[in-house]
Structure formats: structure tokens, C-alpha cells
Amino acid sequence: MNVAVAKTGNGRAVSDLFASAEGRLPGSSAVGAVRREAFETYERLGLPHRRIEEWKYTDLRALVGEVLPLAAAPDAAALKRAAEAVKAHAIAGARKLVLVDGVFVADLSDVKTLASEVSVKTVREVLANEANHAAGDLLQTAAIDAVISLNAAMATDGVVVSVADGTHLSAPIQVIHVATAAGASAFTRSHLRIGKGVRATIVESFVAAGKASGYQVNDAVVLWIGDDADVAHIRLMDDAPDAVNVTSQFVTVGANTKLNFFNMTTGAAVSRLQGFITLAGEGSELSANGVNLLQKTEHGDTTLVVDHAVPNCVSRETFRAVIDDRAHSVFQGRIIVRPDAQKTDGKMMTRALLLSDEAEADNKPELEIFADDVSCGHGATAGALDDSLLFYLKARGLPEKQAQALLIQAFVGEAIEQIADDNLREHVIGIAERWLERRS
């Protein structure tokens, strides 16, 4: 029913997007076929819009309009700017994997240090390997929508990381996506395979170098975690204020594993993180926390689908939004409990702090429960800063903005405090503080 819509207007431009990029997209002929098929799916669907239920609050046709042409591979000047951005955004002690405008850059990455603990390849080399008949699988995911299909069609690079069973990583791995271009798109797709009994912290950072502006990021991450693992997965999206970032994550969790996921959105004019997390092994615990810090006219959407496919798993989602000016925060949380998934314990809680009368928070919790012996729930609150607390702080000498900042930090602090690694937590607090300083 959307076919007619997709074919009109920007439909023509959409075809040009793929045709003009095709020569630069890595892959064997088999991979090319997968890409073309994915692109046809995207062409048929067009950008998601409000009449598609999952995108009701984030109408990309209205908010973004068109997909920008593929960013050129970074030249020497771009790499120089990227190097500075990496320096500014690197977490102390972490090992870096850097993607610049959708291209992996070994010179900016800690490939050698990482090699002793994990295996790292690039998506480009796997896709281009003619001998690997399964290479096309790298572009396949369980869930499909228009932006995921577009990512499969257009992905230029990404990292394929494999952590062997029993490895305890001695330092976090930080994947840094740097944008240096203006008015162009980067499509990346990464695969992370975390073996049995692994302890690991994986951070993904999205940053802009220098004056990079008006760019678009479409990222996809496939994260597979084995049994008995303990993993922290942190995503920090701090793109340029006029950028677009749409990220899709596909996470599968084994048995008796702990996964701590944390997302913080502090950048981009329009962003959506859609996470599809499947608890596929019994006895696992998922803690998913998110913070949206939005100002001006920013639109930030966090959509999480947690699928309890097996019995005896616990999931906790805590989401906080701080919304200023005319910004718009969206949280959609769906908990699915499959018929066999008895003794599931799944809860989600969202809290929105509205700093202006024109700020907007939309919240859509959904429980789809097919088992009969479960404990599931959700809750939501929205409100302004407490006047009595503000007055107390002002009566002690704190100017209005500083009093607000202290209370905002307290509001998001609870989520940030759950990050165990000291350097990483300080890094995240630093990003939140810079967001507070940007408030007008």
C-alpha cells in the first residue's frame, strides 16, 4: 500500500543513490545480489513514516526527507581531522577501532594491541572475499525494515570482532565512528561475536570531526553473546547537532549471561536507536539503560524490543529523558514473552524531565505476553524540575542554570552510575556535562 508513495517524488533519487554508489560497495557477485535485493526492499518501502506503527513518532519522511549520497572515502585532510576527533573522544585505557565516514582506518586503530586478545577483521575484507560463500550472510538480519534494508544495500565497512571463549578482556574496546564530511551518508555494519564465559566491555562512540555537519549515519550492529558471559555494551551518540543517526542493533544473549546495555543520546538533529534483543538462553539477566539529552529542536527516539524466547530470564529497562526547548524524545519499549518463557521477570521504567513548556516526550510501552507464569510491568513519569529543590539550591548561592544542571545531573546520574568502569563512567559524565554547557 506504500508502493505508490515510495515511487513518487524521491523514488527516482533513491534509485540513483544505489546506482551511483554500487561500484564502491565491497562484495563478491553473491554479495551484490544480496545488496540489490535489500535495495529493492528499501525502494519498495521508502523511508519509514508515521503511518507505519513502529515509526509513528519518528516520521523520517517528514524529519529527514531524503537519503544523502554516499560519503567519499576520507582523503588525507579528512583523516587528519578524524585523528584529532579520535584523540578528543578516546576513552582512557580503551582499545580503539576507528571508522571514518564509513571506512575502517587501521592507522587510527589499536589493531596490534587488540590482536593479542581478539580477532578483528573488517566487513570490507569479509564481503570482498570471493572464496567466502557465506559472506552475504553478513548483510542479513532477523528483523527487517526500510532503514535496515538500506543499510544492507549500502554498507561500506564495519568491524568483525570475535572474542574467543573464556577471554577476559583487559581493557574496553571502543569502536569510534567519526564523520568528517558534510552533506553525505555513511553506512556501516559491524559484527561482534562474544564467546562463552567472556568478560568484555564494548563501547560505540559516534562523533563529528571539525566542522562536519548535515551528514547522515546509518549503522547496524549484530552482537552475539555466548553462555556464562558478562558483557557491558555502551553506545554514546554525540553526533553533530544537525546530523541524522539511525542505528539498528540485533543482540542475541546466551544462557546464564549478564548483559548491561547503556545508550546515551546527546547529539544529532534526528536520531533513532532501535534495539532488538533476544534472550535466547535460560538464566540470563539483561539490564538496558538509556539517557536522551535533547535540546533545541532535536528529535531522539529509543526503541527497544526485548524478546524473552526462553524461561527464567530477567530484563530491566530504565530510560531517562531530559528534554529542553522544543525537543522531542520518544521511548518505545516492547517486551515479548514467548509461550515457553515461563518465570520471565521483565520490567521497564521511563522517566522524562521536561525543561520547557514546548518539550515533548512520547512513551509507548508494550507487553506481548504469551506465557502464564510471568512477572512483567512498566511505569512512566514525566515532569518538570522540582521548584522547591531549585529554590533550596538558589538560596544556597547557585545561579538558576547551575542549580538546574545539578538537578539534571542527579536525574541522569542514577543511570550513569551503573557503568562499572571508572574511566568510562567519567567519560560519559563528561559528555553529559558538555551537553549541559550547550544549553542556552
Partner 1 sequence: MALLEVKDLKVRVEEREILHGLTLTVNEGEVHAIMGPNGSGKSTLSHVIAGKPGYEVTDGQILFKGEDLLEMDPDERAAKGVFLAFQYPVEIPGVATMTFLRTALNAQRKARGEGEYSTPDFLKKVREVSKSLNIPQDMLKRGVNVGFSGGEKKRNEVLQMALFEPSLCILDEMDSGLDIDALRIAADGVNALRSPKRAMVVITHYQRLLNYIVPDFVHVMSRGRVVKSGAKDLALELEASGYAQFEDA
Phi/psi at 59 (5° precision): -85, 95
The stretch near partner 1 (CB under 8 A) out of 165-173, 349-357, 393-401, 425-433 is 393-401
Shortest reach from residue 391's CB to partner 1, in Å: 6
65 binds partner 1 (CB under 8 A): no
**Binding-site residue total for partner 1 (CB under 8 A)?**
23
Stretch that binds partner 1, among 131-139, 151-159, 268-276, 398-406 (CB under 8 A): 398-406
Minimum CB–partner distance for residue 284 and partner 1 (Å): 29
Counting contacts by CB under 8 A, is residue 357 touching partner 1?
Answer: no
Task: Determine which residue in the list 369, 371, 407, 429 makes contact with partner 1, applying CB under 8 A.
Answer: 407
DSSP H/E element including 125: helix 123-128
Site string for partner 1, 360-389 (x = CB under 8 A): --------------------------xxxx
Please enumerate in sequence order all residues whose Cβ is within 8 A of that of 391, keeping only pairs 6 or more positions apart, or say none: none
Dump strand ranges (E) for 299-415.
299-308, 314-323, 328-337, 345-354, 360-369, 375-383
Strand, helix or coil at 312?
A: coil
Pairing mode, if any, of strands 216-225 and 270-279? unpaired
**For partner 1, which stretch binds (CB under 8 A), given 139-147, 191-199, 290-298, 406-414?**
406-414
- Smaller CB separation from partner 1, 296 or 394: 394
Nearer to partner 1, 128 or 398 (CB): 398
Q: Of the ranges 149-157, 230-238, 248-256, 403-411, which one interacts with partner 1 (CB under 8 A)?
A: 403-411
Q: Does residue 411 touch partner 1 according to CB under 8 A?
A: yes
For the chain, the first-to-last Cα distance in angstroms comes to 44
Q: Which of 340, 358, 366, 414 binds partner 1 (CB under 8 A)?
A: 414
Residue with Cβ nearer partner 1 (128 or 390) = 390
- Is residue 397 within the footprint of partner 1 (CB under 8 A)? yes
Q: How far apart are CA 59 and CA 186, in angstroms?
A: 20
Element (H, E) at 351: strand 345-354
Nearer to partner 1 among residue 368 and residue 400 (C-beta)? 400
- Distance between CA atoms of residues 268 and 400, nearest Å: 27
* 406, 423, 429, 438: which one binds partner 1 (CB under 8 A): 406
* Window of 17-25, 305-313, 395-403, 420-428 that interacts with partner 1 by CB under 8 A: 395-403
List phi, psi (to 5°) of 260: -110, 110
Q: Which of 50, 56, 199, 394 binds partner 1 (CB under 8 A)?
A: 394
Q: Which residues pair with 191 in a beta bridge?
A: 160, 222
Q: Is residue 394 packed enough to be buried (19+ CB in 10 Å), middle (13-18) or exposed (0-12)?
A: middle
Contact 102, 78 (CB under 8 A): no
Closer to partner 1 by Cβ: residue 377 or 399? 399
393 scored as a contact of partner 1 (CB under 8 A): yes
DSSP SS3 for 150: helix
Residue 430 contacts partner 1 per CB under 8 A: no
Give the length of the chain. Answer: 440
One-letter amino acid at 71 equals A
Q: Check binding of 224 to partner 1 (CB under 8 A).
A: no
Q: Comparing C-alpha atoms, which of 235, 173, 222, 219 is closest to residue 198?
A: 173
Instruction: DSSP letter for 70, please.
Output: B
* Chain positions contacting partner 1, by CB under 8 A: 386-389, 391-400, 402-403, 406-407, 409-411, 413-414
